[in-house]
Amino acid sequence: MIWHGHILAAISGFVIIWAVLRDAFETVVLPRRVTRHFQITAWFYRQTWIPWRRIAEHIKTAARQQNFLGYFGPLSLFLLLGFWATGLISGFALVQYGIGGHEQLSGEPMTFGRILYHSGETFFTLGYGDIVPTSGAARALSVIEAGMGFAFLGVVIGYIPVVYSSFSRREIQISMLDARAGSPPTAEELLVRLARTQGNSGMDQRVLDQVLRDWERWAAELLESQISYPALTFFRSQHSNQSWLGALTTMLDVTSLLMVGIEGVQPEQAKLTFAMARHAAVDLAQVVKARYETAAVDRLPAAELDRLQGSLAAAGLRLRNDEAAREKLAKLRLMYEPYLHAMSRNLMLPLPPWRYAAKPRDNWQAGPWDRLIQARGLAVLGQNRPRLRGEDHF
């Protein structure tokens, strides 16, 4: 019976080692989404994200809530690496316990707890030598485990910088959107600001196409990076009113309007950008296991669409307003909004509106001293006063 127990332990250990190595390979090395029903990393993120999100739901202040959620992405990387390391150490300990062939220098009997300790010191190459493998199989397994520990260290050194490099590339474009489309970005604001650069005389096709090409490439990089490194989906932007999901939503909204038809604007590049952005939305919804949301709030009711058309018209952009155009816009929205709503709910990332009811300040216009500086400047302008000592230095 004891012998059967050792065999079962060894088999279980091999299964755990294989499962962890396979999962680590698929997560770190394999550059495509795994469609298998069960994956350890996906299970890990579900088990850790759900309680984290439930805690965040009790935080009433939006900014504090987003700050708390922002810790999850970076922290989850270290937790995942620790989870893999724990799995490998436990797997090797089970195999070592199953094959036997160890002795402790103090002569005490070997227990699974001591074998687990020996597996840990071997994996991290501590080399205390208080527990010694005596059989050939045990020695070989110890060498393999020590080599795997070095490989694991290499994964830690190589994986984290690559993830942060991808995050940085994603965020640069999102930060640039602040001055182009507001904070949070909206389709109305982006189109109006592009039109105003031409003096309200319409849209410069070359400028518009270049902007759309940049965002087509950004959507492709977003899809590639977040399928290769799913943890990136949980990384928040630097500002609580910005996100990769908000930027993706804005570009889908913008290209939808251009495809419906704006007088004097050619929609060819908009179609390409819409296709790439929609592809990213659909595939990333599957990465985060988003479910279809049937009760989502309508982001663009009829009255809001009328206001949007009025704002665009004031900037010299005449959006088609016949029944066929409204039906086409509804069909285009149905192609991507359900996926965006599902991801928004899963990740607790709010979707931006189509237009502002009351325009907020852009992030670049806000600063911690702005009110004090403005008040001081008005006071200085309102009176002639002698200069204070040291004021010339500012």
* Mean pLDDT of all residues in 214-239: 91
Q: What is the CA radius of gyration of the chain?
A: 28
Pull the structure tokens for residue 328: 């086409």
Residue 5's pLDDT band (cuts 50, 70, 90): low
User: Dihedral (C-alpha) 343, 349, 355, 356: value to the nearest 10 degrees?
Assistant: 160
* Mean pLDDT of all residues in 116-145: 85
Which of 32-41, 260-269, 271-280, 378-387 has the weakest average pLDDT?
Answer: 378-387
Pull the structure tokens for residue 69: 């959620």
The yes-or-no verdict on residue 23 having pLDDT over 90 is: no
Cα(221)–Cα(235) distance, integer angstroms: 15
The yes-or-no verdict on residue 386 having pLDDT over 60 is: no
Cα(121)–Cα(104) distance, integer angstroms: 14
Greater model confidence, 50 or 363:
50
Ramachandran angles phi, psi of 102, nearest 5°: -130, 150
What is the residue-averaged pLDDT of the chain?
A: 85
Residue 16's pLDDT band (cuts 50, 70, 90): very high
pTM metric for this prediction: 0.83
The yes-or-no verdict on residue 388 having pLDDT over 60 is: no
Pull the structure tokens for residue 185: 């970005």
Burial 266-279 (b: 16+ CB within 10 A, else e): ebebbeebbebbbe
The yes-or-no verdict on residue 394 having pLDDT over 60 is: no
Instruction: Convert the pLDDT of each residue in 250-259 to its tens digit.
Output: 999 999 999 9
The yes-or-no verdict on residue 24 having pLDDT over 70 is: yes
384 φψ region: left (φ > 0), alpha (ψ -120 to 50), beta (else) = beta
pLDDT at 199: 62
pLDDT at 183: 83
SS (H, E, C) 240-271: CCCCHHHHHHHHHHHHHHHHHCECCCCCHHHH
pLDDT at 379: 64
Distances (CA, A) of 331 to 247, 277, 324: 21, 16, 11
Q: Is it true that the peptide bond before 184 is cis, omega within 30 degrees of 0?
A: yes
pLDDT at 178: 86
CB 202 within 8 A of CB 264: yes
End-to-end Cα separation, the chain, in angstroms: 84
Which of 159-173, 265-279, 322-336 has the weakest average pLDDT?
Answer: 159-173
* Mean pLDDT of all residues in 162-182: 89
Residue spans per domain, the chain: 1-134, 173-365
The yes-or-no verdict on residue 77 having pLDDT over 70 is: yes
The yes-or-no verdict on residue 381 having pLDDT over 80 is: no
